[in-house]
Amino acid sequence: MVLAIRDEFWDKGYAATSMDDLLRVSGLGKGSLYGAFGDKRNLFLRVLRDYDDANLLMLRERLLSAARGIDLVREFVLGPTDDPTGATARRGCLLANSNAELATSTPDVAAEARRSYDAITTILTAALKRAQREGDLDPDADATETARAVLAAQLGLIALGRTGMDIDVLITVAQSALARLLPTSTH
């Protein structure tokens, strides 16, 4: 049920998702939905937080299981291009979509985005420091600043993907960004 609610917000955006939509996809009555989650805003914030927490857990687990630190970073940037049909790229990321739609008018969404993006930066920084130790990244590169640039590149790819950009072009853009952001050791 919560996944169906999440998907409704993800596919339509917050403003375009009506309470009737949420009642329909959840299968709950109005009283039950309000009783369980409060209002639409609180329901949305819970769904967004759950989405972010699941993604952060997956990213942390992937860092632990990655053969090399640089692999996680590459997968992170290339993630929006994983689906050869381009459907995933066009759908975007619930957090990025919500941040673009609501951050300036809804402080709670901006705060959630900052929380999640800070956590992603921390995970990417750990991956990049590991990549430096493994000889896959210039040891003089600032891992935290590189992590922020990698996050910005991925968010840019998400925004471009939402426009319906051809998936092959999007892949080329992602690979070009990675080549520039992840210099190998010069020593």
CA distance 43 to 41: 5
Q: How many CB atoms lie within 10 A of CB 129?
A: 18
Q: Within a domain: residue 43? A: no
Q: What is the pLDDT of residues 107-164, one digit of tens each?
A: 999 999 999 999 999 999 999 999 999 999 999 999 999 999 999 999 999 999 999 9
What's the rounded Cα separation, in Å, for the pair 113 and 48?
9
Query: Which CATH number belongs to the domain containing residue 112 in this structure?
Result: 1.10.357.10
Domain coverage including residue 137: 48-181
172/167 Cα distance (integer angstroms)? 9
Q: How many separate domains does the chain show? A: 1
* Reported pTM: 0.93
> Is position 13 within any domain?
no
Return the structure tokens found at 65.
Answer: 């299981």
Q: What is the DSSP letter of 182?
A: S
For residue 1, being part of any structural domain is answered with no
Q: Is residue 28, in this structure, part of any structural domain at all?
A: no
Distance between CA atoms of residues 92 and 170, nearest Å = 13
Q: Examine residue 42 and state whether it is found in any structural domain, yes or no.
A: no
Q: Which two tokens stand for residue 67?
A: 């053969």
The pLDDT tens digits of the residues spanning 34-91 come to 888 888 999 999 999 999 999 999 999 999 999 999 999 999 999 999 888 888 899 9
Residue 8 lies in a domain: no
